[in-house]
Amino acid sequence: MKELLDLFLTFARIGGVTFGGGYAMLPILQREVVENKKWATNEELMDYYAIGQCTPGIIAVNTATFIGRNKHGLAGAIAATLGVVAPSVVMITIIAAFISNFAELKVVQNAFAGIRVCVFVLILKAVVKLGKSSIKDAVTLALFALVLLGSLLFDISPIVFVLIAGVCGIIAQSVLKKGGAQA
């Protein structure tokens, strides 16, 4: 029970301090889950992000669910998921009750503009940090460049990119193993 409470409270803390949606949670998830709690490695977290991107729902919620499931089964998945969404539900309910009263205020609009810039920087920091653990050799660097270029040039679902990258990873590893076996 203590472990479930720890999952719930950790993800509630993450959900309660993150503005800007699921991607903004990525640096905080990385710090809490990998560095502080040691519930996953950077590589495992990247796998959770990739799967979370391909499945319906919000990436941070999906990631929390995967981590909770990995730590304590179904009960862990439920505790982590409830933890990450509970603060948002409370905040959205409060904001929805009062938004019409202050949304048009210039100070509120300026605050949100500043928050958006901050969220962008936090996401960029997470991308750089996780990129360092994902791009390990020439093959992964080439794959990164191709996916980045493809995502900038074409309006294709992220699921397609993840599936293609997965197939390329399988092919690259089988070619590398085959080449290593012949040497």
Residue 136 has a pLDDT of 85
How would you class 67 by CB atoms within 10 Å of its CB: exposed for 0-12, middle for 13-18, buried for 19 or more? buried
Are residue 39 and residue 57 in the same domain, yes or no? Answer: yes
User: How many angstroms separate the CA atoms of 115 and 14, rounded?
Assistant: 16
| pLDDT-derived band at 180, boundaries 50, 70, 90 | low
Contact of 63 with 48, CB cutoff 8 Å: yes
Are residue 166 and residue 119 in the same domain, yes or no? Answer: no
pLDDT-wise least confident of 55-69, 90-104, 134-148:
90-104
Q: What are phi and psi of 136, to 5 degrees?
A: -110, -20
Are residue 66 and residue 115 in the same domain, yes or no? Answer: yes
Contact of 22 with 48, CB cutoff 8 Å: no
User: How many angstroms separate the CA atoms of 77 and 52, rounded?
Assistant: 14
Are residue 118 and residue 141 in the same domain, yes or no? Answer: no
Residue 73 has a pLDDT of 95
| pLDDT-derived band at 75, boundaries 50, 70, 90 | very high
The boundaries of the domain holding residue 125 are 2-134
How many domains are contained in the chain? 2
Are residue 108 and residue 157 in the same domain, yes or no? Answer: no
Are residue 114 and residue 54 in the same domain, yes or no? Answer: yes
Contact of 104 with 31, CB cutoff 8 Å: no
Q: Whole-number mean pLDDT of the chain?
A: 86
pLDDT higher than threshold 90 for residue 47: no
Are residue 124 and residue 52 in the same domain, yes or no? Answer: yes
User: How many angstroms separate the CA atoms of 90 and 80, rounded?
Assistant: 16
Are residue 64 and residue 153 in the same domain, yes or no? Answer: no
Residue 182 has a pLDDT of 55
Token pair belonging to 104 = 């048009």
Are residue 80 and residue 46 in the same domain, yes or no? Answer: yes
**pLDDT-above-90 percentage for the chain:** 31
Closest to 76 measured CA to CA, from 46, 42, 51, 39 = 39
Token pair belonging to 137 = 């050799």
Phi-psi region of 182 (alpha: psi -120 to 50; beta: other; left: phi over 0): alpha
List pLDDT tens digits, range 91-127.
Answer: 888 888 877 777 788 988 898 889 889 888 888 888 8
Are residue 122 and residue 147 in the same domain, yes or no? Answer: no
Residue 20 has a pLDDT of 61
| pLDDT-derived band at 58, boundaries 50, 70, 90 | confident
Question: Where does a domain end: 94, 118, 134?
Answer: 134
Residue 82 has a pLDDT of 95
**pLDDT-above-70 percentage for the chain:** 94
Are residue 73 and residue 43 in the same domain, yes or no? Answer: yes
Are residue 93 and residue 32 in the same domain, yes or no? Answer: yes
